[in-house]
Amino acid sequence: MEQENSNVQVIPADKDKIKKIWRVAGILALVTAIEFGFAFGMAAGDVRTFIFIFLTIVKAFYIVAEFMHLGHERKSLIYSVILPMLFVVFLIFILMYQGSAILDVLH
């Protein structure tokens, strides 16, 4: 029976990549902490909802830019991803607005 020889090399951790991951995690944790602050510090209403939506979009943009590496791509690729997303968000807003208008008419 032939003995297999396995050459395993352990590569030391890249300190810059680890530092970047912790920086991204810290920024996302900070934005989440701000969201919690608004959740428990403000009364429910349109302003708080707008703040939550804005901070959620900020977190989503940062996640896409860093973890999906979209922030390091050409502008044309970024726009080809971001613009359709903005149209979908606008569509959702319009559908919610029209849906509440229909409920106002029915009551």
Q: What is the pLDDT of residues 51-101, one digit of tens each?
A: 988 898 889 888 888 888 877 788 888 888 888 988 998 998 888 888 887
Is residue 26 domain-resident? yes
> Does residue 25 belong to any structural domain of this protein?
yes
Burial class (CB in 10 A: 0-12, 13-18, 19+), 94: exposed
pLDDT in the model for residue 30: 96
How many angstroms separate the Cα of 19 from the Cα of each of 14, 32, 62, 107? 9, 20, 16, 56
Range of the domain at 79: 73-107
So what's the pLDDT on residue 23? 93
Q: How many helices (H) and strands (E) does the chain have?
A: 3, 0
Instruction: Give domain status of residue 23, yes or no.
Output: yes
Same domain, 80 and 55: no
Looking at the fold, whether 67 and 94 belong to one and the same domain comes out as no
Do 27 and 62 reside in the same domain of the chain? yes
DSSP state at residue 9 = -
Are residues 23 and 38 both part of a single domain? yes
Same domain membership, residue 65 and residue 92: no
What is the value of pTM for the model shown? 0.64
Q: How far is CA 27 from CA 1, 55, 64, 72, in A?
A: 55, 12, 14, 18
